[in-house]
């Protein structure tokens, strides 16, 4: 017999669910370490499949909490819920503005008209990304505790100034980035709703600048690809995605410029780093579901 232990989202106690023996086969074409949440997709697929197979009666929200706990308890990454939520609750041709406290999201239909999203994989995976994530989460929790709030989402920049002299500048910048990034996420959802792609692109570039210079989770390869995008007038915005120190950039690019930029950025990247990058088109699809 296999035994699946589930930690309740609403408490600290564990409840055991016993399942019969099962065989499982999985495959995929998402490169590991690319920042595209392949681990969340796998976790969700497994728990979703077991839920269906053994009629466990789990809700989708319960399933993503189980997936998250797999990261916490087995992988050792104290991640949030965003990756698992997006993978489970994704809606075709929509972006999601996720409130991680309520675990609910507002969908925004994507219509970039003459533009599209393109991913460029650096094919770099730095092993320190997991420990770096935990370190930055610890900083955020420490600063939140100093401000006597539950999380930095409850803080303003003015609040952060009150403790500036009691923390290192590095920790101040990391906390400031989180506060600013929360605002950018809200502003980006408004820009998408308004069809204001120029503003959306500027927010994406600004996000990468913060990830690079404040949160410090980028790397030379990612920064190079973003700089290449900035030098191309057909790209409205670019930033790293995922845990950092490698993985992909996401680019908002004019459809007419895709082929030319693929060629030019591939050559430039190869010349700079003596390695190839990989380029992917993006399709926003529904989340974890049965294939019939």
Query: Which segments within the chain are labelled E, that is strand?
Result: 2-7, 14-19, 94-99, 104-109, 115-125, 235-240, 246-254, 278-281
Residues 235 and 276 in one domain: yes
Answer whether residue 15 shows pLDDT above 80.
no
Of 8-22, 95-109, 147-161, least confident by mean pLDDT is: 8-22
Indicate the residue among 74, 89, 104 that finishes a domain: 89
Q: What is the pLDDT of residues 47-63, one digit of tens each?
A: 999 999 999 999 999 99
Q: How many domains does the chain have?
A: 2
Same domain? For 69 and 117 the reply is: no
Q: Is residue 104 a part of any domain in this protein?
A: no
Q: Do 143 and 214 belong to one domain?
A: yes
pTM equals 0.88
Decide if 258 is inside a domain. Answer: yes
Q: From 89, 104, 134, give the residue that closes a domain.
A: 89
pLDDT above 60 (res 12): no
Do the domain assignments include residue 102? no
Residues 78 and 185 in one domain: no
Please answer whether residues 203 and 186 qualify as being in contact, where contact means their C-beta atoms are separated by less than 8 angstroms: no
Nearest of 106, 108, 105 to residue 94 by alpha carbon: 108
Shared-domain flag, residues 81 and 135: no
Same domain, 64 and 134: no
CATH number at residue 8: 3.30.230.10
Which of the residues are catalytic? 83
d(CA 287, CA 290): 10
217 within some domain: yes
Beta bridge mates, 252: 117, 237
Residues of the chain above pLDDT 70, percent:
91
> Is 54 part of any domain?
yes
Largest interatomic CA distance in the chain: 59
Could you tell me how many helices (H) and strands (E) the chain has, helices first? 9, 8
177 and 215 inside one domain: yes
Predicted confidence (pLDDT) per residue in 149-201, tens digit: 999 999 999 999 999 999 999 999 999 999 999 999 999 999 999 999 999 99
Instruction: Show which of 54, 89, 124 is a domain's final residue.
Output: 89
Tokens matching residue 133: 């994530």
- Domain membership flag for residue 98: no
Enclosing domain of residue 276: 112-281
75 and 121, same structural domain? no
Residues 85 and 201 in one domain: no
Which residues lie closer than 8 Å to 44 by C-beta, 6 or more apart? 63, 64, 67, 84, 87, 88, 287, 288
209 and 277 both lie in a single domain: yes
């Amino acid at each position: 017999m296999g035994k699946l232990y589930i930690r309740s989202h609403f408490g600290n106690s564990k409840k055991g669910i016993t399942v019969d023996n099962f065989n499982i086969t999985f495959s995929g074409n998402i490169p590991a370490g690319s920042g595209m949440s392949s681990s969340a997709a796998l976790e969700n697929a497994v728990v979703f499949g077991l839920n269906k197979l053994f009629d466990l009666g789990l809700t989708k929200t319960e399933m993503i909490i189980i997936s998250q706990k797999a990261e916490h308890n087995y992988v050792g990454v104290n991640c949030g819920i965003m990756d698992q939520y997006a993978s489970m609750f994704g809606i075709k041709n929509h972006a999601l503005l996720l409130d991680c406290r309520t675990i609910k999201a507002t969908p925004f239909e994507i219509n970039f008209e003459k533009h599209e999203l393109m991913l460029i994989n650096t094919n770099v995976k730095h092993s320190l990304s997991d420990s770096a994530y935990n370190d930055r989460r610890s900083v955020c929790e420490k600063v939140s505790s100093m401000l006597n709030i539950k999380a930095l989402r409850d803080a303003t920049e003015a609040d952060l100034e009150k403790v500036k002299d009691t923390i290192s500048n590095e920790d101040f910048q990391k906390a400031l980035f989180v506060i600013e990034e929360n605002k950018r996420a809200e502003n980006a959802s408004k820009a998408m709703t308004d069809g204001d792609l120029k503003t959306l692109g500027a927010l994406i570039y600004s996000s990468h600048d913060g990830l690079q210079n404040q949160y410090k989770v980028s790397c030379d390869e990612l920064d190079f690809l973003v700089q290449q995008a900035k030098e191309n007038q057909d790209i409205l915005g670019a930033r790293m995605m995922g845990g950092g120190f490698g993985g992909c950039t996401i680019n908002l690019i004019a459809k007419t410029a895709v082929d030319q930029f693929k060629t030019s950025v591939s050559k430039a990247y190869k010349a700079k780093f003596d390695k190839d990058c990989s380029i992917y088109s993006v399709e926003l699809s529904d989340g974890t579901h049965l294939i019939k």
